A and B are shown apart, each in its own frame.
Chain A
Amino acid sequence: MAIKQLTVFVPNRQGTLVSITNTLAAHNINIRALSIAETEEFGILRLIVNDEATAERTLAEADYLIKVVDVVGVKIGDEPGKLTAALDVLDKAGINMEYLYAFMARTEKHAYVVLRVEDNAVAENALVNAGFHLVTEADVNKL
């Protein structure tokens, strides 16, 4: 059920980010969602793309340090309080969250939230049991 997130190590050097997005564009990769975590000396770029296999290969060939990880995607109604409801579910289930980021789905009245947790299956069960719908690879590809 999980969706694939592409993770790229980004040294804090001018031009690194643009060269990454250039590489992706040159291979016709469309970025669906993007988040960057930054420290003083490096950043970690997290991407949801339409073709993660090609993206991984092309970036690896360009000598970037990359890792593909499974993340949970959950659909949230596009109205106040809905994110809180989802986070509540995870909190009550005792699930510790590493990070999250959100993006809007163009076709549906939903926001998509990407969650990075210790155990994907546990989080997915908790959310589904509470009536949430998960984002699938097919959903991502439709964007």
Chain B
Amino acid sequence: MEQRYYQKEFETMPLEEMRKLQSEKLVKQVKHVYDNVPYYRNLMDEKGVKPEDIKGIDDLHLLPFLTKADLRDAYPYGLLAKPLEECVRIQSTSGTTGRRVVAFYTQKDVDLWEDCCARAIIAAGGTNKDVCQVAYGYGLFTGGPGLNGGSHRVGCLTLPMSSGNTERQIQFMTDLSATILCCTPSYAAYIGETLKEMGYGPDDIPLKAGIFGAEPWTEEMRCGIEETLGIKAYDIYGLTETSGPGVSFECEEQTGMHVNEDHFYAEIIDPDTGEVLPEGSKGELVFTSLDKEAFPLLRYRTRDICVLSRKKCSCGRTLIKMSKPMGRTDDMLIIRGVNVFPSQIETVLLNEGYQPNYQIVVDRVNNTDTFEVNVEMTPEQFTDKVSEVLAKEKALANAMKTMLGINPAVHLVAPKTIVRSEGKAVRVIDKRKLV
């Protein structure tokens, strides 16, 4: 019989029991952090909160937040809660926002993380009969190591491809009949484009599912990838600060990601006031690691804007669901005083029939913001008439103006010319030097 859950007891645990488990873990975790992390102990002392004040999950709101700035201040060992002798691994963020984060793992932390990824693979229909191609970057980036570990736990034949070298990806995918692909959604779309160029249709490859994450993507992009590759595309979410991918994952219902809340407690807060918002509200996602030993972040502000829901799920999991992040509190660009989310640009492109391969370039010239969007054209969209190319640019600029309220200069560019780093497209270049 097909396995539906990796750890059924936790994935389908009734809410009351889950609250009890979370409460027990939180009380222990707060004590562990207070005793071993002077940085957080100081934050608690400043707020006048003692470990004994935290008697259960209902008291979580009393604890201070951690932000990315705290991680930077405490770099590298300031938030470490275990002696280095007990740590076996680090992972790190790409530092694209200029602040590198180094997270530490004990063996138990690695095991827990890999279990979370295994839950995601099984939720995407994975079994030990599958061939799982992991095309996330390996190394410091959490994508490759996380899904690699999860794939082992499920018993899939694991292809540790890492990212890049698309020709080789496709050769292994076809020669070894990969059935599950794990990578960033933009790389999945790129592999799809390349397969199409090579003459492969969705029925010519045995892939059945994809587990895509590590960057924002839209429903439209999901449809495109599902169609080109002939698969079901599942979202996965995570961040280095809490472990990596697998903090939450999609099931066959594809209506949001189940949070592995027996390990990571999720809250939604008002990003301005820090007030905890009720279920169903849109706000900033905050995670508390209930089990992590080496790098146990309490109330870490992710900067991701989303919504939590306890609506009953047809997959049988009782784990709370989070929506796809709708933007970030910090990737929001303010251009000529207007808030711009890259996801809005992506929506316009997909509506207008373009691939979501774009780059936003913002600069400041003579005290005025310049706002350019470079968009890759497909061969079908290219024409020999200058007037038609210019008209397409203008139409896109108008559509963006309608969505955003400000007018960008749109430049159509040749395919594959927008820079990709580790398979992640570089979406925003902000050259403004604002002091």
Contact count A vs B, C-beta below 8 Å? 45
A67/B386 contact (C-beta < 8 A), A11-B413, A11-B414 known? no
CB < 8 Å neighbour of B379 from A5, A46, A66, A69: A66
> Which A residues are CB-close (under 8 A) to B417?
11
Contact B377 A39 (CB under 8 A): no
Q: How far is the CA of A41 from the CA of B410 in the complex (A)?
A: 11
CB 8 Å contact bits of B383-406 with A (1 = contact, 0 = none)? 111110110000000000000000
Complex alpha-carbon distance, A65 and B390, angstroms: 16
Would you call B414 and A116 a contact (CB within 8 A)? no
> A5 to chain B: which residues have CB within 8 Å?
384
B172: CB under 8 A from chain A?
no
Instruction: Tell me which residues across on chain B come within 8 A of A9, comparing CB atoms.
Output: 377, 382, 414
What band does the interface of chain B fall in when counting residues whose beta carbon is under 8 Å from A?
Answer: 10 to 19
A65 to B411, CA, bound (A): 15
B373 shortest CB reach to chain A, Å: 12
What is the distance, in angstroms, from B52's C-beta to the closest C-beta of chain A?
Answer: 64
Known: A63-B415, A63-B416, A65-B415. A44 touches B379 (CB 8 A): no
Main secondary structure of the interface of B (DSSP, over half): loop
- Whether A64 sits at the interface, judged by CB under 8 Å, is yes
A112, B266: Cα distance in complex, Å:
72
Give, as a whole number of angstroms, the nearest-CB distance from A143 to chain B: 21
Indicate with 1 or 0, residue by residue over A10-40, a CB within 8 angstroms of chain B CB atoms: 0100000000000000000000000001010
Query: Which residues in A have their C-beta under 8 angstroms from that of B416?
Result: 63
B386 near A37: Cβ-Cβ < 8 Å: yes
Q: Do B414 and A65 touch (CB < 8 A)?
A: yes
Q: Which chain B residue has the least Cβ–Cβ distance from A7? A: B384
Asked if residues A44 and B414 are in contact (CB atoms below 8 Å), the reply is no
In the bound assembly, the distance between CA atoms of A42 and B389 in angstroms comes to 10
Closest to A116 in B: B384
Interface CB pairs A-B, < 8 A, 6: A9-B382, A11-B414, A46-B384, A63-B414, A67-B384, A116-B385
The 9 closest A-B pairs by CB, nearest first: A7-B384, A65-B414, A37-B386, A65-B382, A69-B384, A67-B382, A41-B411, A9-B414, A98-B385
A-side interface residues toward B, CB under 8 Å?
5, 7, 9, 11, 37, 39, 41-42, 44, 46, 63-67, 69, 98-99, 116
Known pairs A44-B386, A66-B379, A69-B384. 14 more at Cβ < 8 A?
A7-B384, A9-B377, A9-B414, A37-B386, A39-B386, A39-B389, A42-B389, A42-B413, A44-B385, A63-B415, A65-B379, A67-B379, A99-B385, A116-B385
Residues of B that sit less than 8 Å from A by CB: 377, 379, 382-387, 389-390, 411-417
